[in-house]
Amino acid sequence: MKLTNSLRSLSICMLLGLFLVSCGEKDESSSTETDNFDRTQMLTDWADIIIIPAYQTYTTNLDALNSSYSNFEANPNETNLEALRLSYFNAYRSWQKVSMFEIGKAEEIGLRNFTNVYPTDSDKIEENIATQVYNLDLPSNFVTQGFPALDYLLYGAADSDEAIVLLLQNTNYAQYVSDLLSRLTALSKEVLTDWETNYRTTFIENGGSSATASVDKMVNDFLFYYEKYLRAGKIGIPAGVFSGNTLPDAVEAPYSATNSKVLFDEGFEAVRDFFVGKSFYSEEKGSSLSDYLAYVASQNESTNLANSIETQWTLVTSKVNDLSANLNEQVITDNSKMLAVYDELQKAVVLMKVDMMQALNIQVDYVDADGD
């Protein structure tokens, strides 16, 4: 299965839209110190019990994926192909836990763009493989690498598992897969090393209240991920919310589409866990956005907005439970259920983008391009 020209154009349009967003001007005086909430403790907990452990697990799973590929190369057969696919899926799931943290080194190197731009461009992948002339550092190759490209190569590059095993023994295909894995691993380790050796301190010490402070930047990254990647990318775009026509092949992992709902579930869980400060490794909770909103509510003698957000996410979950494991198939057979999930996700956007940001005195620092 190869994706259509319109979907490849969609990848490019989405990417250009993200560039426009990232170039939006920030108001350096968007917020001022208005409360005594301990931002430093919240930043410490975000770094130590959520972000760094998530990147450590992601990097470990990429190492396991590389090992699985080495095993497959040494003994290419359908059994080892399935083991390789399982390692790919485990790494892809762990990517969902770090995708929202596009801050520090991840922002500097554009980690997300090199890791998970979809739909992938299968024709350009085949051209890269055939010519062996490609530079994965270039923005023009965002759509030919990362997990979406591996999804195509491990599941969609041929019509059967037997044929895929044979195809991946071809020298050019083998080299391309190896290059994709090496790049994913190198980028993840670059970000993790920076957190562990340098950026953690910078992140925590920048605990003030301004557009360039860590809390303001991280809250914006959290909101941007929720709105643009979780709500729109995983659900709204395939469901046709922005195009007027359904785009089933625009789901995440369309070649292994039974993985697509799990990838959404992992991303949504990451959002909810971050909001309440849940530790990556346990049920322990640190200082969080939920706590911050509760503090503001107590100071103002107002309703705790965190409760409203979490209640809305419970409604999201009730609609997500109605979805098929295969979101590609869900769009084709009963898109109304995808639209129902989108609608509930959107209600939380309003609570966060308007009410939460006002309560915390944080200004949205990205340009809204879809009319929300």
pLDDT digits (tens, 9 = 90+) for 249-261: 999 999 999 999 9
Mean pLDDT of the chain: 92
Share of the chain above pLDDT 70, in %: 90
How much is the pTM? 0.90
pLDDT tens digits, one per residue of 291-328: 999 999 999 888 999 999 999 999 999 999 999 999 99
Angle ∠(10,11,12) on CA atoms, nearest 5: 90
Other Cβ atoms closer than 10 A to 312 = 18
Q: Which residues are within 8 A (CB) of 221 and not within 5 positions of it... i.e. 6 or more apart?
A: 100, 101, 102, 103
> Residue 155 pLDDT more than 90?
yes
Kindly list the distances between the CA atom of residue 116 and the CA atoms of 100, 112, 256, in Å, as whole numbers in the listed order. 12, 6, 15
User: What does the alpha-carbon distance between residue 165 and residue 163 come to, in Å, rounded to a whole number?
Assistant: 5
**138 pLDDT higher than 50:** yes
pLDDT digits (tens, 9 = 90+) for 217-273: 999 999 999 999 999 999 999 999 999 999 999 999 999 999 999 999 999 999 999
Cα separation, 303 vs 131, in Å, equals 61
Helices 78-96 & 260-276 angle (0-180, nearest 10): 30
Residue 184 one-letter amino acid? L
Q: Find out if CATH 1.20.1420.20 is the number for domain 5-359.
A: yes
Cβ-contact 267, 234 below 8 angstroms: yes
